[in-house]
Structures are given as structure tokens and as C-alpha cells.
Amino acid sequence: MTFSHDTVTDAAGTTGPVHYLSTLSLSDAWLDRLRQRHPRVEITQITAEKASDVPDEVWRRTRVLHTGAVFPDARQAPALQWIQLDTSGADHLKGTPTWDLPVPITSIGGISPVPMAEYVMMMVLGLAHRLPRAVAVQQSGVWPSPSERWNTLMPRTLRGATIGVIGYGRIGQEIGRLARAHHMTVLGLKRGRATRPGAFFGAGAPDEAEAEAEIYTPDQLHEFLGRCDYVIVTCPLTDETRGMIDSEALAALKEGAMFVNVARGGIVDEEALLRALRSGRVAGAALDVFDEEPLGADSPWWTEPGVLLTPHVAGFAPDYEEQVLRLVGENIERHLTGSDLLNLVDRGRGY
């Protein structure tokens, strides 16, 4: 579907229609609202799985690309000036020709901190209250004896426990805010104390959240892990973070800690984590992401005792389309006026 408008001259001096292409499946109502906000922008949506699904003439005139995983090469889209991702991370672009295109890339980071933080606390509470074991009891159909109930379903208290968040940005700070409501000590691990990327949708009070957390840097990872009763992974997948939770890191972890990963599977050595679970060093885990997705039917994670598993849903936001509309609409305005784009991906950092 295409909607034509008048030409426009932007801050860079480019004259002509601003052609916006979505390769997603955004609703007609969503597209109409974007048109109402930007009547001078020509909007086209072609739901695509690969670049060849988009006609060459559409690629040639595309100036703004809104996509998750469909990218042209430079020759296909000579007018391209900006890529808006439908993902919070950009790790899938690293090492591809798209990464080297001389155009800005923006993400939807900042849309999911609240639901993701709530998911994390759900899993922390579930692990603390032995939910994997309780589910196994229900599935067995056998009421356990008083001693079995006492020995296998006794919960841990969160009050006074230490939660460590690897990647203490927008999501991590919201997790910290919720964790403090349970009177937990909050540790954050991040790349120094540099100003975090600009947020489009704030959650809580980030400056206050950081001030109330003890901040560690990546070179202090083992010291950090040695203090944690609960470890939460929320950092982006980059060259520096790939495989950072390996056998040595897990050996440094506090004995009997719980582990939650809502970031990317490649950050964690899954075989090392499995060994740590079976040895008892890690007492339980909640995993929403895996190195290979979809998870294979023969994966041991489906049936591993002490593990809560979900199929990459932690970042689902009930008002996702509304928030994306606000973000994309604002960024189109900024693109037209030559202002800084929101959620700009830093290619040096990888996110």
C-alpha cells in the first residue's frame, strides 16, 4: 500500500518525496496514523522475509527503511538515508554489508524496560519459591510427603539477598528499582559510568536508580559474580560480551546462585551453564533466550530440572505499536529537520 504526498526539502537539502518503506506487518491503522502525523511522507509497506521480496523500483526510491531483518545492498537502495530497526539490539547486523553503509541506524531500545523488568522479577520470585519443582509436582499428580514438601519447596527470601544486573542500562535500572522494593541489594555491571544512550521511553528514575546501585565494570566481573545471589543478564551482544559468562565466570559465581538471561543466548556458554546447574553451583535458571533459536526439540533445556524456560518473550510490550509509533514518528520529524535521531546505534560499541 502506498500513499503519495508533495515533495519536501529536508535539512540536508534533499528535495523530493520522503519514501518510507516498512518490511514489517504493521496494521493499516498504524500506517494511517503515521501518515496523519507526516502527510508529506510517502509510506509503503511490503511484508518481506528477504530483500528480493521488495521490487527493485521500491528499493531505488527508499529513503527511510523500517525493518527487522530485511536489508538491501548499497546498489539496490542508492537513496537510503536512515534505517529504523524493529529490534532493540543490532547484533544481527554486525559483520554484514548493512553495518558498513554510511547511514544512521536506530533501534527500538527503551520500549520494553517495564515489561522486561517485570518478567525478570517474576522469574526471580519463581526461582526463589521453587516454581520449577512445584510445576514438576503438579505434573506428577502425586502429593509429596511432609518432609518432601519441607525439603524441596522451602522458598528463599528475597529480603537481604543480592541481585546483580549485567548491563545496567534502561532495563537494568528498572530491574534495580523493582528489586529494591523487595529490599534486595542491587549491583550493576556496566562499561564505566559514562552517560547512557538517550532514552525515548524512560522507566523509573535512571539517575536515582544508578545512584542506589553499586556499580562494577567488566574487568570486575568475577568479583561482581562472587557477591550475587541472583544474576540477571540484560546486556547487548557485542564482541566484548559474546561468551562472557563462561566456565570461569560461573566458577566465580556465589555458590547456589540463581541465573536469569533475558539478553541474547550468545552471551552465555550454555554447556558451561548446564554443567553448573547439574553440579549445584547454580541452583536454578530462567532462560528466555538461546544461542540458537528456535530451540531444537532435542535440547536438554526443555526438561532440565530447576529451569524455567520461555520462547524469547520477555521483551513483549502490550502497548508495543503505540510506543513504536511515537518513536518512529518522532524520528521522522528529526530526520526531516536534521536533528539527532533517538536510539542511535553506536557502531563502535555495537549497540
Active-site amino acid positions: 264, 293, 312
Helix (H) or strand (E) holding 30: helix 28-37
Rounded Cα distance between 90 and 106, Å, is: 9
The letter for the amino acid at 177 is R
Residue of 289, 263, 318, 335 lying closest to 84 (CA atoms): 335
Residue of 172, 250, 244, 242 lying closest to 214 (CA atoms): 172
Q: Are strands 41-45 and 2-3 parallel, antiparallel or unpaired?
A: antiparallel
Which three cell numbers, joined as nine digits, stand for 152? 524441596
Torsion of CA 39, 110, 83, 264, to 10 degrees: -150
Rounded Cα distance between 62 and 20, Å, is: 6
Cis peptide before 144 (omega within 30 of 0): no
Residue of 293, 238, 239, 236 lying closest to 270 (CA atoms): 293
**Residue 124 CB partners (closer than 8 Å, separation 6+):** 158, 163, 179, 230, 232, 258, 260, 286
